[in-house]
Amino acid sequence: MTQPNLSERRRKNPPKPLNKDLIQELALSYVARFATTSAKLESYLSRKLRERGWSEGQEKGPNPDDCRDSGNWPDLSAISARFVELGYIDDEAYARSRSGGLLRRGYGPRRVSQALHQAGVDENIRNSVAPGELAIRRSALALARKRGFGPFAAEPPERERREKQIAAMLRAGHGFDAIRAIMDAESAAVAEQWVADAEQEDC
């Protein structure tokens, strides 16, 4: 006899609708596993509610149609606000960590801002963690070194290849000033000195 697959078992035995205790357990499990923001937690809980429904306040037991009515849902913003009070969520700490990680990987300020916006980070926090000139130059240098762009190429790129490298740096979120400084550098040493100049100004 063949064993029913996971999707078949789920159709026959769907998870029970959420209630106050279960949604708190889901929220705690989520913040314990992932660095997150208030908005991301609320999005996760909203998805779980759409999948499983909400049974609180139903006198005759959960109804698959009624319990998926968002009008019956709990206040997800109140749950996330409570987690902020408890220190389980810190949007600014998340933003600083996420921003630093992306910059080290060679992404520019525009892509960093986009990633934080998608995570639901408030504009004021995004502005407060926006990279300065030194961080911008370091990230551009990191990308060029990793991808072999400009002076880090094995040989000077031809026009078509140079244009592709510039386009790649633009997609990575870098501005024209940083791209020009990297791509016009005569050598790796010149590009590295461009970063060193910002380090001296930052002192």
Convert the pLDDT of each residue in 89-101 to its tens digit. 999 999 999 999 9
Q: How far apart are CA 18 and CA 193, in angstroms?
A: 58
Classify 13 as helix, strand or coil. Answer: coil
Summarize the confidence of residues 192-197 as an average pLDDT. Answer: 97
The pLDDT of residue 73:
82
Mean pLDDT, residues 4-19 taken together: 68
Q: Is 63 helix (H, G, I), strand (E, B) or coil?
A: coil
**Distance in angstroms (rounded) separating the CA atoms of residues 99 and 116:** 8
Q: What is the mean pLDDT of residues 65-75?
A: 62
Q: At residue 69, does pLDDT exceed 80?
A: no
Q: pLDDT value at position 60?
A: 38
CB 122 within 8 A of CB 91: yes
Q: What is the mean predicted confidence (pLDDT) over 113-131?
A: 96
For the chain, the structural domain boundaries read: 6-85, 95-202
Q: Span 26-46, mean pLDDT?
A: 96
Residue 50 CA: distances (Å) to CA of 44, 45, 195? 10, 9, 49
Q: How many Cβ atoms sit within 10 Å of the Cβ of residue 127?
A: 9
| pTM across the whole model | 0.81
pLDDT band at 201 (very low <50, low <70, confident <90, very high): confident
Confidence band, pLDDT 50/70/90 cuts, at residue 67: very low
